[in-house]
Amino acid sequence: MLKLPLGEYDIAHYAFEIERNDLGLAGGKQDQYAATFGGVNFMEFYAGDKVIVNPLRIKQQYLFELENNLLLYYTSTSRESAEIIKKQSRNVVDKKDSSIEAMHQLKEQARLMKEALLRGKLNEIGEILDFGFQQKRQMAEGISNPLMEKIYETARHSGATGGKISGAGGGGFMIFYCPGNTKYPVIESLDQFGGRYRRYKLTEHGLSTWTI
């Protein structure tokens, strides 16, 4: 609106500053960079607010298959994500070994996912997501709950090879990897929980602005 000469890194950083400092909401900074840059990226976060966004050149056929096999499921429950994130932060400050080790393993999950996408090993994605799901549970109390555990196990028994809790956890959205046509029996099996389904669509671009 003000026609400021801001690049993607500037915009993402300011969005982070507004949400974290001005509004005082706890959380990371991956969402701001993902939304600003768009596409499929491997993002590296360093001390001192240094962020490097590495765009990944993934074959279109892999992306089509990924879109087809991912199922976005809204649990019809909500939560205050900032409170869960505060618990995660406290566990790190208090040097809770299980939480810190889980964060190291989630970092490894990102590397495994990058390699699987670049090499077209989509059959490994479900297992990688499941690995991350097991680790994320260890980061803080409240990330998962009995309902989400039941939903996850039901999806797995119906054909999903893995999945994840989106965001901080505790409610909201879950994502499942359903190879082939298994998303249809997974959807049918999850009907009992009263949630809703959304098509998973990848976008090649992030924030766009224009003037007329």
CATH of the domain at 77: 3.30.70.890
Is the same domain home to 14 and 94?
no
Residue 64 domain boundaries = 60-199
Residue 145's pLDDT is what? 83
The 10s digit of each residue's pLDDT in 28-40 is: 889 999 999 999 9
Is the same domain home to 43 and 69?
no
Rounded to a whole number of angstroms, the CA Rg of the chain reads 18
Final residue in a domain of this structure, among 55, 73, 88: 55
- Taking the C-alpha atoms of residue 170 and residue 177, their distance in angstroms, rounded to an integer, is 20
Q: Pick the closest to residue 200 from 160, 154, 142, 151 (CA basis).
A: 160
Query: pTM of this prediction?
Result: 0.84
Catalytic residues: 31
Residue ranges, the chain, pLDDT below 70:
78-96, 139-143, 167-171
Is the same domain home to 20 and 78?
no
Q: Would 119 be classed as within a structural domain?
A: yes
Q: Would 208 be classed as within a structural domain?
A: no
Is the same domain home to 41 and 104?
no
Residue 3's pLDDT is what? 82
- Taking the C-alpha atoms of residue 146 and residue 154, their distance in angstroms, rounded to an integer, is 12
Buried b / exposed e along 50-75 (16+ C-beta atoms within 10 A): ebebeeeebeeebbebbeebbbebeb
Q: Which contiguous run of DSSP H or E holds residue 124?
A: none
Is the same domain home to 93 and 114?
yes
- Taking the C-alpha atoms of residue 206 and residue 97, their distance in angstroms, rounded to an integer, is 37
How many domains does the chain divide into?
Answer: 2
Is the same domain home to 69 and 106?
yes
